[in-house]
Structure 1
Amino acid sequence: CRYMSRYRRIRIVGKGSFGSCWLVENDDAEQCILKQIDVSKMPVKQKEEAANEVKVLSRLRHPFIINYRESYVNDGLLCIITDYAEKGDLYGVIHRLKRGSHLLPESQVLRWFTQIALALKHMHDRHILHRDLKTQNVFLSGPGLGTVKVGDFGIARVLQHTQDCARTAIGTPYYLSPEICQEKPYNHKSDIWSLGCVLYELATLQHAFDADSMRGLIMKILKGVPPQVPLAFSASLR
């Protein structure tokens, strides 16, 4: 494939039922991410819809959104090339802080929260929903602790066309909004709910809603009352 010859694979960075994710290097020695989604079993029309969905996403340009570089279909795989965020993701930050029993400073929580909110606003203003906002999809890049780069937006919509959509589109259930739990249509409010869950997690290093079973989790989400945010934070954040 003429596209693939431009990228050298360095290492695999993620694998799911939908396909795989690779760190690659292009001809200019820039590191990028190659996401491969298996579309081999899709009818032609759905393949085209999935490819068009990615083209819409590629038009988004924002300082707090991962830059989509190009996409193409090769050997039954929909390949998406994006920028690489070298500082990892918020999930990794939270995991490390948990181990050391340290909370993030409030100023940093609010800085990252504001950046994610601005990225979401940019998407919503263009009628694009994220559909799978979680700490694993909020990447970091640049000096200091890093600037937010929201990624994997709209991928859930692309995955709707695959047989694995029921499993993959939902992914981690902690961020599900009440309307999704009630099997109502997804809308921009569902993204905002997920943003609230991410903010809670940044402040507490815990999921806003957690339970031993899916049924128990849904009950907690529908009640909508997470445990209190630590008193170390200001009343306005709490």
Structure 2
Amino acid sequence: MTNPSSSMSGFAPEPSVPGPNSLPAGGDSAPWTDTEEMGLPAQPAVAFNANPPNKATDQLPTIGHIGRYALKYQIGEGGLGRVFAAHDPLLSRLIAIKTLNLEISAEERESFNALFLNEARAAGGLSHPHIVTVFDAGVSEQGAYIAMELLKGRDLRQLRLEGWKPTPTQAALVVRRVADALAYAHSKGVVHRDIKPANIFMVGRTQPRVLDFGIARVAHQHEAHAEGDVAGGSPYYMSPEQVRQQPVDRRCDVFSLGVVLYELLTGTRPFRGASLKEITDAVVEFTPPRAHEVDATVPKALSDIAARAMEKNPDDRYRSARALSRELRHWLEEHAQDTAEPTDETPAPHKRPVVWAAAAVAALFVAGAAWWALSPHQADPDVAQVPPPPPQVVAVAPPPPAVEAPASVPMVAAPASPVAITPVAPPPVAEAPPATQATVAAKPAAPKETAKERRAREREARLAAGAATGVLRIAVSPWGQVEVDGKPAGIAPPLNELTLSEGRHTITIRNDEFPPYSSSVNIVPGQAVSLKHRFGS
């Protein structure tokens, strides 16, 4: 129900479905355009960077007040109200304020305000990495308002209009994270009812934030009762039961998210029409072609996931957003090695073809023979020590054991002797160390060290230099609030690493949907320990 008109906003300002008075002239036969769906005038978006530069937030001119908040400048405007950047004097921070201004009678306003505040309280109780944070809500002379975090980025609708088409892996990852957010909200009894690209705000390449929980229900309840119109949601993404004005549950969000997945995979909407009636009829009656039939580059498994999520009968869909998330997670895990895109899951080791293993053995034989002839025999014990690195290092740093070997093993003393006789047989001498490393990483062959892995290795080397601290690496799925010895440490993800003092610590990870998980870890100076936990597994 939103469409920000700037590059930074909290709730974006456009209505979900225009009411009867805002439909295009001509009734159901009139064309339905993106501009009309947005409820915004066809004009350029307001740039966020229009605010005065080099000024602190509280020094910007104040254009008005809502509650305790000083309005600084307008971010955008839509059919439901306006969005402002505002200064919170209590916490000295810049936030986003969304006002809701509906044309309703004085008699209706009291019940509307009560419903709005109830929905705002429900949204304000949601705390999840992929849901926008609501700070406050209230009613002022200017109408009802919501105060929330100010986000920097673009919503999916804007990105699509700008020509961005995600890879299948990016699409699956974004939708999986939105599904995690919805599953969390559903566990709190909150159904969104208006999932669409404009309500999925991207603050990073694969970091979505879901906007406008509860707003669709509030904004359109009086219209549905008064006019019998389609209630809540954008017509392209509404579920059949919403179109029919039947009771809805969490599965209506699953349907809408399936439509979003389909659009991200194919670049087209599955349900289209020249009028509101044509669009809603398509939602109820039309079965779109599978995503992989529209775009041959779409993996069939992802196409099947989108199709199941968009089943007309709620009983035939995924029973929950959690089930949809789980299906996407399995696909991402199976295809992690096929993509360089970041995921929050540890990729499975990439298995080299057998021919590479054979080549490694041959190279080892040649290089080993040359090294034997050119090196002192007392180097033998060093060679014997290379394959088994210390157990704790293997557990902590899965990326290649061969990279870790130099930090813990003297590693063949080739430079001392072969350098003096390099002219005799230079190629074998130069190849000897890599061949030895290839043997260490033969199961599977070690990939080339990435910049991230190099930085991690260098950080561990610095820790080993004498600091009485160690590193705890954390991987939590789908998310969890991390506590160290009873003290909050952050939310994972994005938290993935902590530097802790030497000794034993109790790590507790909490997710309101599952029982808390606790584990005791022993931190050794200069070393790293991994802690992984998946709720619901």
- Which TM-score bucket, shorter chain as reference? 0.7 to 0.9
Conserved? CA contact 2:216–2:233, under 8 Å: no
Conserved? CA contact 1:63–1:149, under 8 Å: yes
1:81 alignment partner, one of 131, 144, 147: 147
Q: Deviations over 1:187-229 (max 9, x none)?
A: 2111111010111111122111101123322332223422342
> Counterpart of 2:174 in 1: which secondary structure?
helix
Q: Give the alignment of 1:120-199 within 5 angstroms.
A: 120-142=182-204, 145-160=205-220, 162=222, 169-199=231-261
2:131 alignment partner, one of 65, 72, 75: 65
CA drift of 1:20 comes to 1.8
2:98 alignment partner, one of 27, 35, 38: 35
Q: In structure 2, what is the Cα distance between the partners aligned to 1:73 and 1:43?
A: 11
Partner of 1:112: 174
Partner of 1:237: 302
Structure 1 unaligned residues grouped into runs of 5+: none
Instruction: Output the amino acid matched with 2:218.
Output: V
Q: In structure 2, what is the Cα distance between the partners aligned to 1:181 and 1:45?
A: 25
Conserved? CA contact 1:13–1:23, under 8 Å: no
Q: In structure 2, what is the Cα distance between the partners aligned to 1:146 and 1:139?
A: 10
- More divergent stretch after superposition (73-82 vs 221-230): 221-230
Partner of 2:157: 91
> Counterpart of 1:49 in 2: which secondary structure?
helix
> Counterpart of 1:72 in 2: which secondary structure?
strand
> Counterpart of 1:173 in 2: which secondary structure?
coil
Conserved? CA contact 2:83–2:96, under 8 Å: yes
Structure 2 unaligned residues grouped into runs of 5+: 1-63, 304-537
Q: In structure 1, what is the Cα distance between the partners aligned to 2:101 and 2:71?
A: 20
Conserved? CA contact 1:89–1:137, under 8 Å: yes
Q: Deviations over 1:97-141 (max 9, x none)?
A: 26xxxx311111111011110011011111111011110011122
Q: Highest CA radius of gyration, 1 or 2?
A: 2
Conserved? CA contact 1:87–1:146, under 8 Å: no
Conserved? CA contact 2:171–2:261, under 8 Å: yes
Partner of 1:10: 73
Conserved? CA contact 1:180–1:190, under 8 Å: yes
Compute the RMSD of aligned alpha carbons. 2.5
- Are 1:53 and 2:116 matched, yes or no? no
Conserved? CA contact 1:113–1:199, under 8 Å: yes
> Counterpart of 1:236 in 2: which secondary structure?
helix
Q: In structure 2, what is the Cα distance between the partners aligned to 1:208 and 1:19?
A: 30
Conserved? CA contact 1:50–1:161, under 8 Å: no
Instruction: Output the amino acid matched with 2:236.
Output: Y
Q: In structure 2, what is the Cα distance between the partners aligned to 1:195 and 1:50?
A: 24
- More divergent stretch after superposition (165-174 vs 218-227): 165-174
> Counterpart of 2:117 in 1: which secondary structure?
helix
Q: In structure 2, what is the Cα distance between the partners aligned to 1:130 and 1:222?
A: 20
> Counterpart of 1:130 in 2: which secondary structure?
coil
